[in-house]
Amino acid sequence: MSIASAPGPETAELSVFVSHLVRRSQQRAVDLFAKAVGTDGLTHQQFILLLAVDQNPGTTQTRLVQVTGIDRSTLTDMIGRLGARGYLKRKTAMHDKRANEVSITAKGRKALQAAMPAAVAADQAFIQDLPTAKRSAFVDALKSLSSVTEVEPEAPARPRRRRTARVS
């Protein structure tokens, strides 16, 4: 049965809901990552954040939200924690004093490189049950669904206009 042919919500099976299947797949991928990296390594989100910062040096937190899909408050907390560990550094952006630029440190890059083989192994384990011929199409479909290919480059911030005092 497919969701398109389901007669109605009262008879629809859980196994036909794409959102449920994607969530379960994501849980499996994260579990495989955690098992591959081990308890002393980076979490999946930490790995993704470090990789995004490494691939986008000096990027802003706003851009990292767009690239990673991590919500703003979680991302801010993660940057603070990874900064305290010496993996990331944050500074006020030159082009916009309201924005923060984030960059990876040598220590952060070392942690990222240490986790990379395990991350690759976890991804390979995740798709190993798919026929080889379908793996590329699967990744392309995920990119399309997650809008990874549609992330717009960050536009420069507009300067703030100063308010003038009103004369009464």
Which pTM was predicted? 0.77
Sign of CA dihedral 67, 68, 69, 73: negative
Nearest CA to 52 out of 85, 84, 24, 78 is that of 78
Q: How far is Cα 21 from Cα 147, in angstroms, rounded to an integer?
A: 18
What per-residue string of b and e applies to 45-68 under the rule 16 or more CB within 10 Å gives b?
bbbbbbbbbeebeebbbbbbbbbb
Q: What is the pLDDT of residues 111-132, one digit of tens each?
A: 999 999 999 999 999 999 899 9
Tell me: the pLDDT tens digits for 27-67? 999 999 999 999 888 999 999 999 999 999 888 888 999 99
> In the chain, what are the domain boundaries?
15-146
The CATH number of 15-146 is 1.10.10.10
